[in-house]
Amino acid sequence: MGLAVAGMHYTGMAAAQFTGGLAGWRPTGYFVFGSYQLGLIVAISSVALLAIALLATRFVRWTNTTSSRFENLLDLAPQVVWFGRPDGHITYSNPYWYEYTGLSERETLGYGWTTAIHPDDRERVVASLQSAVEEGRYEFEFRLRRKDESYCWFLARGRPGRDDSGKVDAWVGIAVDIEERKTAEQQAWAASQAKSEFLASMSHELRTPLNAIGGYAELLAMGIRGPLNADQAQDIARIRRSQQHLLTLINDVLNFAKVDAGQTEYRMTAVPVDEALRDTESMIAPQVLAKGLHYSYKGAGKSASVLADPEKLQQIVINLLGNAVKFTEPGGTITLSSQFVGNCIEIRVADTGPGISPEKLDRIFDPFVQAERRLNQPVQGVGLGLAISQDLAQAMDGKITVESVVGEGSTFTLSLPRAPRMDPADRPPLESADRPLVEPDDSQLPERSQSQSSEERSDEKEREYHEA
């Protein structure tokens, strides 16, 4: 500022264009002589210095204000905030840390803060920090000791700061108290376990008398206790149907309890899709024929195989087909198909039923949710089939999706990963030992055999049947 004032004074004198004085005259100390050009240069420099000084003053004030606000933010933050060196060495922690743990700054900085971590979590946390230095980020949960010696769960997250060359030059991290969330999770898990145990126990207790009812009804139907008249035989048949229905519902509840508790075992193997679906449709055929539905199948070919548990795959498809039969009116159509889609194979069950309303479509895979319950169809199950099927599919790295239009029908799609190709030595033999290696030509077969062969070939592409 002093240089700026001196320059302005010199500029004013130079602007007056003073010339040299009389002979023998000497200027006093109050005047400074110089050329006009030099004065102009000094004036410009003075103004620039003055502007720089003003900007520097404003910058210092802004920096101080920002720093004060940042410090206040750190002081008021309801979670732990820390800064560290590139190697993870802690250089700063906000007041919340010291108030929560009761540790001093000397006990905290460096790696001393790890003494406040639960002994069972300490080794895991330190290993995560060491790997984070290489990976560039971390996130983990651990128990932190309070100053009253109790432990609470925290979620810690950290990110690195990098210089212009991309190298890590600092770390910043936070740790948030998640004790309430953890407590809620543990309570929910305990409640789920209790529910699953209750459902499993109840299902076993109910299945025992139901099996007895079914067994005795079958003995009566066979005439073991004496011949039955027509009315008695009809009543026994009704008892058996009701027993089978109740047993199906209880089995659904038991299966749901096992899946929900994670007690289901999976035997993953390469499953030929066409063969599996052929076995499945033979189980559902009586229901299709009894209801007068049209059924068709379009396969992806003999080469289509998925990596799945054969029994679980069959259970899923039967559930989907059973729902299609249940909700499709007589004369409607059900189509089962499979096709390659990327690295997966999609198995689709489409029907021409009433469809699913949009408000239920998002919850259709939730337990005890049903698409529609109508008075003319009182037997609808308990709404566990789709929930069980979705859990089974996800456990095999697959999923089930649904598309539906009210009044037109629904399409459920099961997507499963394709099975890896097997070496020829690992493939099961396709021919039996007593079967000739060379098949006879169709022209050498009897006419009936040729007809059957033709039907079998077409059966690989599409199979249809309905009640005549």
46 pLDDT more than 60: yes
> Which domains, and CATH codes, for the chain?
2-73 (no CATH), 77-177 (3.30.450.20), 184-260 (1.10.287), 269-423+441-465 (3.30.565.10)
* Cα-based distances in Å from 131 to 117, 128, 136, 156: 18, 5, 8, 15
Place of tokens 């920002």: 66
Query: Per-residue pLDDT averaged across 310-326, rounded?
Result: 89
pLDDT at 348: 93
User: Per-residue pLDDT tens for 182-209?
Assistant: 999 888 888 877 877 777 777 777 877 8
pLDDT at 414: 94
Structural contact between residues 125 and 140, judged by C-beta atoms closer than 8 angstroms: yes
Strands 333-341, 399-405: parallel, antiparallel or unpaired by DSSP?
unpaired
* Cα-based distances in Å from 245 to 214, 238, 240, 380: 11, 11, 9, 10
Write out the two tokens for 178. 């998640």
pLDDT at 72: 66
Calculate Rg over the CA atoms of the chain. Answer: 41
pLDDT at 217: 87
Q: What is the pLDDT of the chain when averaged over all its residues? A: 77
- Confidence tier at 121 by pLDDT (50, 70, 90): very high
CA-CA-CA-CA torsion for 12, 13, 19, 25, nearest 10 degrees?
170
Task: Evaluate if pTM is beyond 0.75.
Answer: no
- Confidence tier at 332 by pLDDT (50, 70, 90): very high
Structural contact between residues 346 and 418, judged by C-beta atoms closer than 8 angstroms: no
- The DSSP code for 358 is H
- Cα-Cα-Cα-Cα dihedral sign, residues 21, 22, 26, 28: negative
Structural contact between residues 332 and 353, judged by C-beta atoms closer than 8 angstroms: yes
Query: Long-range CB contacts (< 8 A, 24+ apart) of 337-343?
Result: 337/297, 337/298, 337/299, 338/273, 338/274, 338/277, 338/298, 338/299, 338/300, 338/304, 339/300, 340/300, 340/304, 340/418, 341/415, 343/417, 343/418
Among 370-384, 393-407, 430-444, where is mean pLDDT lowest? 430-444
* Cα-based distances in Å from 244 to 212, 316, 444: 12, 20, 49
pLDDT at 9: 55
* First and final C-alpha spacing in the chain: 108
pLDDT at 104: 92
pLDDT at 13: 52
* Cα-based distances in Å from 279 to 72, 312, 333: 71, 13, 20
Q: Rounded CA gap, 179 and 155, in Å?
A: 9
275 pLDDT more than 80: yes
Q: Which residues pair with 36 in a beta bridge?
A: none
Write out the two tokens for 259. 């899946």
Query: Per-residue pLDDT averaged across 100-117, rounded?
Result: 90
213 pLDDT more than 60: yes
